[in-house]
Amino acid sequence: MGWAALSHCRDVALGYSKRTMMKDVPVGPRNLRCMLMIQAALVLACGNATRNIKEGDVEDLLSPTKTPENVPLASQSLMVEKIETTLHPQKDTYRIGPNDVLNISVLGHEEVSSTRDFNRGIVGTVVKKDGNIYLPIVGKVQAVGFTVEAFHDILRDHLKTYINDPQFVVDVLQYESQKFYILGEVKSPGAFPVDGDTSLLEAIGLAGGVNPEGSLERAYVVRDRRLLPINLADLLLRGDTSRNIFMRHQDLVYVPSAQDQRVYVLGEVRDPRSVQIPNARLSLAQALAEAGGILHVDADKGSIKLIRGSWQEPVVYTLDYEMVLANGDRIFLEPGDRIFVQPTSLTTASRYMQQILPFLQAADAATAIYDRLAD
């Protein structure tokens, strides 16, 4: 796809004039916590793929009010890392599924071709729930799980039993077996058919584009219950198409509301949860208190991580417990921040699963719809 086509697609996906300015605003729904836990695990595993940020930048971010009594946090051995992620868009080869409608046209043999109606045109041949199609004379032919090209070869073998050197074409008339979902602050949220050739840009365009109330910076993409490192603002506003993935079955794109300002406290705390920012001001100490405080037995007090920024390139600040006690009331959080209290080495992986599972099962306005449709 050329740059002109991509630019046009981007304009359609945005759904509003290029003159409209989008604010960097907060992240959305409660069930996002499950994806945040997974991202936190990614952060812990990617410590080697980092680069240092200037101390001054850290002080500006975490200690915005500079007064003589404020000791710069950077001088207290604060570890700052920028996680660099990779994602290579790969085009999927579409495989036929149940309820897909095929167009089969055999030259000179309408009796084994797909049904045609004078008023409606090609009606097509429906792939049944058992994975087969049924043609007159030929009988049943397995279709589910094959690419169109592979199914063409299979059908040829069946037709050769009745027709000498059959000449025919096969294509998908209607894609009905696989869906992806665009939800949240878009003009036409819902489920859309996977055809193996729809990019993320085109998918958002199919949903009518993003509403002005939506937050592109905090939007997220989920595949196979995993959060993908994609920044929709880079894709739609800044023209970075390096992560313009092709949509797959059960992919979810969610655009949260700009009005939803919250942070997320996860890991070894008493009550992992999202915390609303009251009156645009919330400190790290307040957020940890809202989550019931740190579990002193299970938590690694030397590794309390504040994850800030986009899903694509988050910045990670690692604080120790003493630093939080001394400075937690003046470290003010931003919408979308993720606080992750790392466990000690004695805490097993099953503990992670016990915490992640409730988040996966939790229901909220966006992912509840997605879970029902995906199942």
Containing structural domain, residue 160: 101-174
More confident call, 303 vs 130: 130
Contact assessment for residue 93 and residue 147, using Cβ atoms and an 8 Å cutoff:
yes
Average model confidence (pLDDT) for the chain? Answer: 75
259 and 136 share one domain: no
pLDDT for residue 186 = 95
324 and 228 share one domain: yes
> Stretch 103-124: mean pLDDT, rounded?
85
Within-domain flag for 10: no
Q: Are strands 226-228 and 220-223 parallel, antiparallel or unpaired?
A: antiparallel
Secondary structure tally for the chain: helices H, strands E: 10, 18
**Least confidently predicted of 18-22, 29-33, 367-371:** 18-22
How far apart (Å, rounded) are the C-alpha atoms in residues 310 and 229? 8
Instruction: Mark which of 139, 174, 209 sits at the end of a domain.
Output: 174
pLDDT tens column, 160-170:
999 999 999 99
List the structure tokens of 43: 């952060």
| CATH value at residue 107 | 3.30.1950.10
166 and 202 share one domain: no
Q: How many domains does the chain have?
A: 2
Instruction: Mark which of 150, 174, 198 sits at the end of a domain.
Output: 174
| CATH value at residue 258 | 3.10.560.10
27 and 88 share one domain: yes
272 and 137 share one domain: no
H-helix or E-strand containing 312?
none
pLDDT for residue 55 = 34
136 and 279 share one domain: no
